[in-house]
């Protein structure tokens, strides 16, 4: 399988306070703003954040057609039905940065049976994130 220079799978998330979430995700996880489309009332219509070659898209949770399909963890009892896994090159430093920024660590950093190291955490609005050094694209 050939690898594209950019991922063809881009996770999407909704946040009650997307402006605050963008700042936090950049500070805690090292994302960089690629595109942010603000709207009235300090809301975000659409944002694209990048980290080590990957991208997520997010926006403010609202009562619209897409909002009928996707909501925030707080609106469904804190449960997530999916979560992104993001490959990072310096996993131990990333873990310390996220922890210092107040990420709720739900699985402490550890060596994985399948290779690499990783950890799982929640952001301030309860979205579940997985970070690791294991890269399934690399062939041994």
Residue 2, pLDDT > 60, answer no
CB atoms < 10 A from the CB of 88, how many?
22
The answer to whether the beta carbons of residues 70 and 16 sit under 8 Å apart is no
Q: What is the mean pLDDT of residues 96-108?
A: 98
CA neighbor of 62 nearest in space, from 70, 52, 51:
70
Q: What pLDDT, on the 0 to 100 scale, is given for residue 76?
A: 93
Angstrom distance (rounded) from CA 48 to CA 10: 10
Angstrom distance (rounded) from CA 42 to CA 47: 13
Angstrom distance (rounded) from CA 70 to CA 11: 12
Task: Give the tens place of pLDDT for each residue, 48-95.
Answer: 999 998 999 999 999 999 999 999 999 999 999 999 999 999 999 999
All structural domains of the chain, each given as residue ranges with its CATH number in brackets, are 12-132 (3.10.180.10)
Q: What pLDDT, on the 0 to 100 scale, is given for residue 5?
A: 62
Higher pLDDT, 6 or 82: 82
* Torsion angle, alpha carbons of 70, 71, 72, 77, to 10: -110
Q: What pLDDT, on the 0 to 100 scale, is given for residue 1?
A: 41
Show the tokens assigned to 8: 């063809």
- Full-model pTM: 0.91
CA neighbor of 12 nearest in space, from 64, 71, 78, 62:
71
Alpha-helix runs per DSSP H in the chain:
18-29, 91-100
Q: What pLDDT, on the 0 to 100 scale, is given for residue 138?
A: 86
Q: What pLDDT, on the 0 to 100 scale, is given for residue 4?
A: 54
Task: Give the tens place of pLDDT for each residue, 107-139.
Answer: 999 999 999 999 999 999 999 999 999 999 886
């Amino acid at each position: 399988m050939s690898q594209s220079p950019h991922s063809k799978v881009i996770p999407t998330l909704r946040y009650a306070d997307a402006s605050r979430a963008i700042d936090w995700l950049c500070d805690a996880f090292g994302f960089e703003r690629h595109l942010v489309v603000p709207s009235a009332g300090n809301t975000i219509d659409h944002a694209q954040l990048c980290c080590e070659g990957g991208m997520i898209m997010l926006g403010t949770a609202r009562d619209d057609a897409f909002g009928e399909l996707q909501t925030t963890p707080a609106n469904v009892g804190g449960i997530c039905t999916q979560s992104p896994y993001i490959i990072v090159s310096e996993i131990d430093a990333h873990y310390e940065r996220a922890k210092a920024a107040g990420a709720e660590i739900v699985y402490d950093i550890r060596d994985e049976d399948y290779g690499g190291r990783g950890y799982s955490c929640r952001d301030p609005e309860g979205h579940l994130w997985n970070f690791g050094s294991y890269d399934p694209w690399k062939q041994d």
